[in-house]
């Protein structure tokens, strides 16, 4: 079953953010049995070339979604052409923006994705099979991380081709003038709205959680696509804990 089908079925999928351009880190995370990996090109030093190397390491082992560095067409096209199983697109705040994301990500007739001969297409050797199946197999996830996205959520949810919405709680809190105040009532109400409206139409909801408590809370609310911590945060937390035991 493709990752997209697993996502759309509501299966609980727990992953972590990859922010370090290290194949060794990805190998370690694969052995930790995460359900998926979130390759972050928006907020890390990972380049498109780095991301392709990481996808090559994960190939056939752990599905990877790439968070594009922006919502523009080139960023989306490059993430898919290097072989991601799907994309997570930041700062999608309207139905019009969501529709453009789908258009950029899908080949004609469903969209306007241009044709390349990159890794995803087997460098041309698997071209026919890839283009025949890409629109049905690639996951398209849009981030709701601004209050404008929450206010326009119903229109976003109605856009054909969107497979899940993903809450970015920190940026969402910042858009309300309460950066990092995740437990503020206004921030919590915005998060609740996303879950409530998505549930009405059966849309899967994802979220980023920095801690296990936050992750458990999102799961209890109904999140099925969870990005827990980051590779660097997990490394630092574990190192501090073990060092504390020795000191």
| Residues with active-site annotation | 43
CA dist., res. 95 & res. 158, Å (int) = 8
Of 120, 104, 101, 105, the residue nearest 52 (C-alpha): 120
Displacement of CA 205 from its chain's centroid (Å): 11
CA dist., res. 110 & res. 107, Å (int) = 6
Within 8 A by CB and 6+ apart from 201, the residues are 157, 158
CA dist., res. 116 & res. 162, Å (int) = 23
Our separate counts of H helices and E strands in the chain read: 12, 8
């Amino acid at each position: 079953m493709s990752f997209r089908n697993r996502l759309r079925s509501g299966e609980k999928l727990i992953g972590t953010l990859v922010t370090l351009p290290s194949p060794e880190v990805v190998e370690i995370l694969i052995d930790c049995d995460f359900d998926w990996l979130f390759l972050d090109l928006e907020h890390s030093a990972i380049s498109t070339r780095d991301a392709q190397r990481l996808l090559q390491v994960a190939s056939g082992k752990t599905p990877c979604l790439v968070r594009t560095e922006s919502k523009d067409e080139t960023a989306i096209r490059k993430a898919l052409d290097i072989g991601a199983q799907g994309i997570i697109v930041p700062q999608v705040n309207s139905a019009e923006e969501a529709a453009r994301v789908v258009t950029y990500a899908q080949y004609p007739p469903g969209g306007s994705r241009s044709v390349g001969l990159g890794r995803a297409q087997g460098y041309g050797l698997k071209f026919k099979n890839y283009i025949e199946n890409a629109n049905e197999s690639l996951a398209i996830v849009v981030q709701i991380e601004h209050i404008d996205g929450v206010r326009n959520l119903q229109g976003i949810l109605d856009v054909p081709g969107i497979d899940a919405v993903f809450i970015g709680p920190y940026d969402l809190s910042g858009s309300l003038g309460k950066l990092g105040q995740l437990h503020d009532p206004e921030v919590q109400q915005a998060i609740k709205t996303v879950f409530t409206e998505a549930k009405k139409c059966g849309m899967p909801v994802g979220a980023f959680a920095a801690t296990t408590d936050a992750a458990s809370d999102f799961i209890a609310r109904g999140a099925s696509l969870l990005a827990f911590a980051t590779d660097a945060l997990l490394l630092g937390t574990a190192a501090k804990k073990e060092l504390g035991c020795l000191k």
